[in-house]
Amino acid sequence: MKIKPHIPEESSPLQEKFINYVMLDGKKSTARKIFTETLKIISKKTGGDPEKVFKTAIDNAKPEMEVKPKRIGGGVYQIPREVPPGRALALAFRWIIGGARDKKGAGMSEKLAQELMDAANGQGLAIKKKEDTHRMAQANKAFAHLARY
């Protein structure tokens, strides 16, 4: 019985970070299998470049604004702030993976592929979450002047 050496396909640092977010209980090989299977499903369904769809989905799901609660003089105000790039990426990953995990019925790679394609097309749970966050920031614009306190 010969053991084949597993040679991972080249992946970008962004993809590696995403794989780390997919990973549960330290099972990175399982997370990597899910991700590669997801890319195969995307290329089969779209007929295009799955990495491009992946990047577009991440960019579409990144929030620009969010609200942070701040206590000022006995009241707690939701203050709108710009999201730093690192946090925006983390939120996009979290929302896409969360949206895929919430779906029922299919395998994780199929659900993740569907969520990524939805996000790339400006739909899906991750995009809804982003829009809700932006709506909250817009609604609390009046408290923006309290950000400096």
What is each CA distance from 138 to 3, 65, 66, 130, 133, in whole angstroms?
Answer: 57, 9, 9, 12, 9
Q: Which two tokens stand for residue 137?
A: 């920031």
Nearest Cα to Cα of residue 97 among 59, 124, 121, 122 = 124
Q: What is the pLDDT at residue 1?
A: 60
Side-chain half-sphere CA neighbours of 49 within 13 A = 4
Q: What is the pLDDT at residue 3?
A: 54
Q: What is the pLDDT at residue 2?
A: 54
Domains of the chain: 14-148 (1.10.455.10)
Question: Can you tell me the distance from the alpha carbon of 19 to that of 13, in angstroms, rounded to the nearest whole number?
Answer: 10
In angstroms, the first-to-last Cα distance of the chain is 68
Running along the chain, 149 residues long, what does each successive block of 10 average in pLDDT?
52 91 93 94 90 94 95 93 95 95 91 94 94 95 86
Nearest Cα to Cα of residue 126 among 137, 136, 117, 138 = 117
Which helix (H) or strand (E) segment holds residue 68: the answer is: strand 65-72
